Amino acid sequence: MALALDPTLPKSLALAIPRPGPASEFSRALQAVMIQMNAGMCITPSANADLDFARAMIPHHQGAVEMAKLELLYGNDLRLRRLAQGMVVEQSQEIALMQSILASRSTMLDTSVNP
């Protein structure tokens, strides 16, 4: 994301304004992921523990996947990068499983309501 500079500033002053670095790019991206994750986890309860668990965990896991991708983009610690790689794979698989379970449950509900 580029920072728009005021065209009326003297060129020497405009050059002196610090540009966002990788740390602030990481911080902004991480904050955006956490906001989206938290919003996604705020589900309307259905009184079905299984359904509510899966519906809340999918955005939770997706947030973890996105955070892990940020670690892979910006991080340097090899241990954390290896952990992040595993999280991307494993939690993506878990998301797919939960989505499949939810889809099969909705299909079962559709057939039981509409014989």
Over residues 9-19, the pLDDT tens digits come to 555 554 555 55
Domain boundaries, the chain: 49-110
| pLDDT band for position 3 (cuts 50, 70, 90) | very low
Mean pLDDT rounded to a whole number for the chain: 84
CA 84 to chain CA centroid, nearest Å:
13
DSSP annotation string for 77-88 = -HHHHHHHHHHH
The class of domain 49-110 in CATH terms is mainly alpha
Over residues 44-80, the pLDDT tens digits come to 999 999 999 999 999 999 999 999 999 999 999 999 9
What pLDDT sits at residue 33? 98
In percent, the amount of the chain with pLDDT more than 70 equals 72
DSSP element (H, E) containing 40:
helix 22-41
Is the confidence at residue 31, as pLDDT, over 60? yes
DSSP annotation string for 44-110 = PP-S-HHHHHHHHHHHHHHHHHHHHHHHHHH---HHHHHHHHHHHHHHHHHHHHHHHHHHHHHHHHH
Cα separation, 105 vs 102, in Å, equals 5
pTM of the shown model: 0.73
